[in-house]
Amino acid sequence: MNSSVVSTLTRFAVKSRQICGERVPALRWRLALAMGLAIMLAFPMLGTAAGKSTRQRLDRALRDKVARADAGTVDVIVRTVPGKHAKKIADFTRRGHQKRGEFRRIGGMALRVKMSQLQALADDPDVLGVSIDAPIRSTVDLASETALRSTLGLYDAGYKWSTGAGIGVAVIDSGIAVSEDLPLDRIVAFRDFTGGNGAVTTAPVDGYGHGTHVASLIAGSGAGSNSAQYQGIAPNVSLIGLRVLNSEGTGSTSNVIAAVEWAVANRVQFNIRVINMSLGHPIF
């Protein structure tokens, strides 16, 4: 990463830390930094667009599409000059671009654009950058119990001090399935973003299983194992399920951004102090 990107990422992480509270443990600080990194992956030109040629406003995946003279349409995420967001949405709609979502907190929007109009979109002087709305997948890494405890800073102290009572944890993943380990009263809110219609309130569901796996690691009661042997690291937290991955474990970057914005906007109501995202896409 260049110095401008590092500086931007640091500012975002500091802001995230302020959202979570100034006196936060090291683990929560690392999670705040991860939130910033996730947004950086969605907008790889963030902090570096000024002074770039219009071609460079397109990320690598889109430049490759232009070079191949691809036809049809492409789903993209567009960042605009501060203060121009509302005006540009109306402008782009008049041009025939299909709006699929908007992200006011970061001055972005999701559009479906004809390939023949992609370069003209990048040429717009009010556009800072255009990224492909990349497909995302869940991520899974095998880890021993010792490695997990060390990563979380628990070491040999056990989990007793970290039950998480009163803390809201937003799990942005494939959903959460109600089970003996994750009873319904522990899931205080659930929103489904997979339909492309923003945050839709539904009963908790997980057609893929990855989100339930993650939620169990975080907050499982251990009721399904002998003597709660496989209890989560903070079994008393409140879970907020934000479903962005479908039943095949895939989704879109724009839905993840929408889920992050929803979590930030509703952080006070649900006391959301942690956002977990175990998903991603390659860097373009």
CATH of the domain at 129: 3.30.70.80
| pLDDT, position 169 | 97
140 or 252: which leads in pLDDT? 252
List the structure tokens of 245.
């991955």
Inter-residue contact 101 to 254 (CB < 8 Å): yes
List the structure tokens of 169.
């944890």
| pLDDT, position 135 | 93
Domain shared by 145 and 265, yes or no:
yes
Decide if 50 is inside a domain.
no
Phi-psi label, residue 75: left if phi above 0, alpha if psi -120 to 50, beta otherwise: beta
- Range in 114-123, 157-166, 222-231 with the lowest mean pLDDT: 157-166
Its domain, for residue 78, covers: 55-133
Inter-residue contact 160 to 124 (CB < 8 Å): no
| pLDDT, position 283 | 74
Domain shared by 179 and 254, yes or no:
yes
Domain shared by 191 and 77, yes or no:
no
Alpha-carbon distances of 13 from 33, 36, 103, 146, rounded to whole Å: 5, 5, 18, 28
Domain shared by 188 and 85, yes or no:
no
- Range in 123-127, 259-263, 279-283 with the lowest mean pLDDT: 279-283
Q: Which helix (H) or strand (E) holds 144?
A: none
Q: Which helix (H) or strand (E) holds 125?
A: none
Q: Taking the model in full, what pTM does it have?
A: 0.77
Q: Within 13 Å, how many C-alpha atoms sit on residue 214's CB side?
A: 27
Q: What is the pLDDT of residues 4-38, one digit of tens each?
A: 333 433 444 444 433 333 334 444 444 444 445 44
Closest CA to 13 of 31, 45, 36: 36
Average pLDDT value over all residues in the chain: 81
Domain shared by 80 and 188, yes or no:
no
Closest CA to 168 of 25, 261, 30, 264: 264
Domain shared by 146 and 27, yes or no:
no
| pLDDT, position 115 | 96
Q: What is the pLDDT of residues 186-209, one digit of tens each?
A: 999 999 999 988 899 999 999 999
Domain shared by 127 and 141, yes or no:
no
Domain shared by 95 and 8, yes or no:
no
Domain shared by 251 and 190, yes or no:
yes
Domain shared by 141 and 227, yes or no:
yes
Domain shared by 158 and 274, yes or no:
yes
Decide if 47 is inside a domain.
no
Helices and strands counted in the chain (H then E): 9, 12
Question: How far apart, in whole angstroms, are the C-alpha atoms of residue 135 and residue 158?
Answer: 38
Percentage of residues in the chain having pLDDT higher than 70: 72
Decide if 235 is inside a domain.
yes
Please tell me the total count of domains within the chain.
3
